[in-house]
Amino acid sequence: MRIDILTVLPEMLESPLNCSILKRAQVKGLCELVVHNLRDYSDNKYRKVDDYPFGGEAGDRKSTRLNSSHHTESR
């Protein structure tokens, strides 16, 4: 089973994904965990993935303007 994780902070997931049950499942070949950095798909020269708030509420949202060519090349 392959599990793809999209995140802005892939470094924070290195430790939890390489310990305990998840690590043993990967070693046994039961699952494959692939972490994708959203910033790698950004067309912005600053690798920005956040967009402006929408609807006047607090919080942020992710931009939908990501480079899809990087995704198709990595397959």
What is the pLDDT at residue 50? 77
Record the pTM. 0.65
CA 73 from centre of chain: 16
Rounded Cα gap, residues 49 and 43, in angstroms? 9
pLDDT digits (tens, 9 = 90+) for 7-40: 999 999 989 998 889 999 999 999 999 999 999 9
The residue among 32, 42, 58 whose CA lies nearest residue 8 is 42
Q: What is the 3-state secondary structure (H, E, C) of the chain?
A: CEEEEEECCCHHHHHHHCCHHHHHHHHCCCCEEEEEEHHHHECCCCCCCEECCCCCCCCCEECCCECHHHHHHHC
